[in-house]
Each structure stands twice: as C-alpha cells, then as structure tokens.
C-alpha cells in the first residue's frame, strides 16, 4: 500500500473508532447509511445479508424507531406508543455498525459524511432522510407550533402523544380540524385514516364532537370511495369533508386556520404543512425538483445530483403513480442494496420489480387496502405501474385489519430485526 493510501485508511479508521465503530476485520468497502427508518435500516441490513464482506455503518440520531404506520391508532387510544416503537440495535446481529449521531453534511467529492461528533469516509452512501416541512408556506405556523397549540404529528413520536392529549382534553361538542396539504405528501391515505380514528374516538368518548377535514386537494387522494363510505356508515354527523381548502395561515392564539377565502376555528387544530425531502438532503444539494424532492435513477436509487449517493423513501421525486409509503421505502432500500452489492463487485445492477401495499384502519377492527406493482420501463427511463396489477379492497373488513397488523409486524421485522 502506498503511504498516502495508508494514511487515508488510517485516518478513516481513527474517525470510526472515535464514533464507536472501529473495524477489526478487513472489508471490501464501506457503505454509510444515513437514517434508520424503513429505507435506511432495510438497506443496511440487506447489504450485509447479500455481501457480508461490506462494512456497513448506519447513522441514526434517534434512540429508537417509531413507526408512522399504525400511529393513527394511538390517537384513538386503540394502541400505545410502545406497540409502534422498535429498537434499532437489532441490526447489529447482521454486522451493521450503528452510530448514534446526526449527519450534518455530505461531501460527495471527498466521499465523507460529517457528523456532530466526527467524520466517516465511505465508498457508497445511502441517504434515507424522510421528510421535513416547508413551514413558511403556512403563515404563522412555526410560532403556533412552538407554543404547542398547533401540531402536525406527521412524524410519529412526541407530537403523536401531544395530539392524543389534546383530543382527550377537548370538550365534548368541540371541533377537531385536520388540514391536509397538496399532494405529494407522506402516506397518501394517512390523513383519511386519521380522520377515521379520531371519529372513532369521538363516537365512543365525545359523541357531540365533530371532525372537520380541510383538504387542499380537490378530493380524497387515496381509497376515496372506501373512506367516504366508512364515514357515512360509521360516523354519520361526525365527519365533514371539504375539498379545495388549502391552509395559508394559522393563528395559534385564536385557534384558527386561514384558508384562501375564510377563517375556520377549532378546539384542536392539526395542520399538516407541505412536505419536502429531509434537511440533510437539502443541505447537501441532493434536492433537484421544485426545491422539494430528490430525483434518482430507479434502477439503482443513485442520486442524479451526486454520484455514489443513493437516496431512498419519501425524499425521492416519486415515479409515476408511486406513493410515498413505508412499503415503497422498504422496496427502494432493496433496489439500492442490490445495486450497491453488484457495483462493489464490478457487476451491472439489474432493475427490480417492486410492490407497494398500504393498509388504513377505518374503525378499531376494520381496515381497507391499496396495492400496486411497479417495474422498470426502459423507454420511459423510470418505474411504472404494471398494467392489471394491484387495486383496492372490495370493502372494509376485519380480515383486512388483521392483515394490516400482520403487515406492520412483518415490515418492522424485515427492516429492523
């Protein structure tokens, strides 16, 4: 080994040792993964499973993983935070080195990631940062949120608990307002599942209360007929839906949301702002489209803005008819893991066909489903839905609810265990 190469390798090993993940065995290459959710954790695990010679380092700032899928049931009191929380260190059994830190910068030219407490060199980088919000699109939002009056609860965790507390403390006869942003946003059916869960809670605990849905989109964006039928059958007089109702401002003191034509008051105000790719993607120049999303090569998930960097999950500029969902992030991870293993071994990656499945609860014991299959289309240079694949549930059912819980436990295990 040349002296310059030796010093570079020694410096990288020292940095890793400082981060608590010094390598003691030779490896083919190092892959660093930023983000321990459905995308990042899955990628880290599968790279190690498919090529144990690769040194995989997962950087995650949170002490545990909290699942957005199933979190709406917490708002209704049908499950608890412990049920949707999983440990990340289970990945260590696969040889993944888990570093509790925050990635603050990426230097794609030097192939390094700067952390709050050190720096890590990589051969390939996987970025799965989830979403952050364009708070400035809703005037007054940040002030109202800082005061604890207005929540989004669109990242499962403390705000989920806080929103549940607000619902519990709300008077019977009060109004809960949910403001939904223009698509695309994380989990297209998620807001409408939340409507159903809050309505179910009101039906049993606060029967004189109302759920008012202010949707910036013209109509329900996913499983619309099934959701509307459930609201009509199960929650008559509780749910009111209004399309084309975009929030442009909030007033936390008056507890009101300003629309383009009127102000609407609420007892509990749950405003979900427009989304964009997570902060690290924005800071590192990975966002390519509308100042919001990261375009990728769907054969490898490699960023179109930075070579050697693979972007997964909700942060991506979605392929046609592709939702931002946990299933998609999990599948993006497998595309990236397969491609990275092939590339590190000097082989050409092959496109993969992937499946999306999304379950939504409409009552404590009933759920509905949407699914789709996506494959590489060379002529269009992207993934497209397979004709005749997928579809939605024929009707809500207890069977779908059982499948929903099974799906959740399976994907948690597939990603994190």
pLDDT tens readout for residues 64-123: 999 999 999 999 999 999 999 999 999 999 999 999 999 999 999 999 999 999 999 999
Phi, psi of 320 (to 5 degrees): -55, 130
Return left, alpha or beta for 119; rule: phi > 0 is left, psi -120 to 50 is alpha, else beta. beta
Q: List the end-to-end C-alpha distance of the chain, in Å, as a whole number.
A: 38
pLDDT tens readout for residues 285-343: 999 999 999 999 999 999 999 999 999 999 999 999 999 999 999 999 999 999 999 99
Residue 25: pLDDT over 70 = no
Other C-beta atoms closer than 10 Å to the C-beta of 7 total: 11
pLDDT at res. 69: 98
pLDDT tens readout for residues 146-178: 999 999 999 999 999 999 999 999 999 999 999
Q: What is the mean pLDDT of residues 119-135?
A: 98
- The structure tokens 């619902």 sit at 167
CA distance 8 to 414: 35
Q: How confident is the model at residue 28 (pLDDT cuts 50, 70, 90)?
A: confident
pLDDT at res. 7: 29
CA distance 357 to 374: 11
pLDDT tens readout for residues 178-228: 999 999 999 999 999 999 999 999 999 999 999 999 999 999 999 999 999
Residue 14: pLDDT over 50 = no
- Name the packing angle between helices 326-344 and 40-50 (round to 10°): 40
Give the residue, 13 or 203, on which the prediction is more confident: 203
CA distance 243 to 245: 5
Q: 115 and 59 in contact (C-beta within 8 Å)?
A: yes
pLDDT tens readout for residues 267-280: 999 999 999 999 99
pLDDT at res. 27: 59
**Peptide bond before 184: cis, by omega within 30 degrees of 0?**
yes
Q: What is the three-class DSSP state of 384?
A: strand
Phi, psi of 257 (to 5 degrees): -115, 135
* Residue 217 parent element (H or E): none
């Amino acid at each position: 080994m040349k002296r310059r190469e030796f010093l570079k390798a020694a410096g990288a090993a020292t940095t890793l040792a400082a981060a608590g993940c010094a390598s003691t065995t030779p490896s083919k290459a190092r892959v660093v993964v930023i983000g321990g959710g459905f995308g990042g954790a899955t990628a880290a695990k599968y790279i190690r499973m498919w090529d144990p010679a690769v040194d995989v380092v997962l950087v995650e700032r949170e002490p545990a993983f909290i699942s957005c899928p199933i979190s709406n049931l917490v708002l209704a009191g049908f499950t608890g935070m412990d049920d949707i929380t999983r440990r990340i260190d289970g990945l260590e059994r696969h040889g993944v080195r888990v570093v509790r830190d925050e990635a603050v910068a990426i230097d794609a030219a030097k192939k390094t990631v700067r952390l709050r407490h050190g720096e890590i060199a990589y051969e390939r980088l996987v970025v799965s940062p989830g979403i952050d919000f364009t708070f400035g699109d809703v005037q007054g939002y940040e002030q109202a949120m800082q005061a604890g009056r207005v929540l989004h609860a669109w990242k499962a965790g403390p705000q989920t608990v806080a929103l549940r507390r607000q619902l519990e403390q709300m008077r019977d006869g009060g109004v809960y307002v949910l403001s939904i942003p223009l698509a695309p946003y994380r989990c297209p059916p998620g807001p409408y599942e939340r409507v159903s869960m809050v309505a179910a809670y009101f039906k049993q605990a606060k029967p004189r209360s109302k759920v008012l849905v202010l949707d910036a989109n013209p109509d329900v964006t996913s499983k619309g007929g099934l959701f509307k039928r459930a609201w009509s059958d199960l929650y008559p007089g509780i749910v009111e839906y209004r399309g084309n109702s975009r929030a442009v401002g909030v007033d936390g003191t008056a507890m009101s949301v300003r629309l383009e034509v009127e102000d609407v008051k609420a007892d509990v105000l749950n405003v979900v702002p427009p989304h964009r790719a997570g902060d690290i993607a924005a800071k590192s120049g990975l966002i390519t489209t509308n100042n919001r999303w990261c375009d990728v090569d769907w054969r490898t998930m490699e960023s179109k803005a930075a070579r050697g960097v693979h972007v997964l999950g909700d942060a991506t500029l979605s392929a046609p008819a592709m939702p931002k969902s946990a299933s998609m992030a999990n599948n993006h991870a497998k595309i990236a893991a397969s491609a990275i293993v092939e590339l590190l071994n000097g082989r050409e990656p092959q496109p993969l066909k992937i499946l999306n499945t999304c379950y939504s609860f409409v009552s404590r014991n009933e759920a509905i489903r949407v699914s789709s299959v996506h494959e590489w289309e060379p002529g269009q240079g992207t993934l497209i839905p397979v004709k005749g694949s997928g579809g939605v549930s024929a009707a809500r059912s207890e069977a779908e609810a059982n499948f929903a819980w099974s799906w959740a436990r399976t994907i948690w295990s597939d990603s994190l265990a």
